[in-house]
Amino acid sequence: MLKEFKEFAMRGNVLDMAIGIIIGAAFGRIVSSVVNDIIMLPIGLILGHVDFSNLFLNLSGTHYDSLADAKKAGAAVISYGAFLNTVIDFLIVALVVFLLVKQVNRMMKPQPAPAPPPTKQCPYCMSEGIATQATRCPHCTAELKAA
Q: Is 12 helix (H, G, I), strand (E, B) or coil?
A: helix
The CATH number fitting domain 2-107, selected from 1.20.1070.10, 2.40.160.40, 1.10.1200.120, 1.20.58.220: 1.10.1200.120
Whether 64 and 75 have beta carbons less than 8 Å apart is answered as: yes
Angle subtended at Cα 103 by Cα 100 and Cα 107, rounded to the nearest 5 degrees: 140
Residue type present at position 113: A
> What's the CA gap between 145 and 43, in Å, rounded?
81
DSSP state of 77: E
Q: Is 25 helix (H, G, I), strand (E, B) or coil?
A: helix
pTM above 0.75, yes or no: no
Domain residues of the chain, as ranges?
2-107, 114-147
Q: Is 124 helix (H, G, I), strand (E, B) or coil?
A: coil
Going residue by residue through the chain, which has 147 residues, state the pLDDT in tens, using 9 for 90 and above: 888 877 777 776 777 788 889 988 888 888 778 877 887 778 778 877 776 778 888 888 888 888 888 889 988 999 898 888 888 878 887 887 788 888 888 888 777 888 888 899 999 999 998 888 888 999 999 998 865
Radius of gyration of the chain (CA): 33
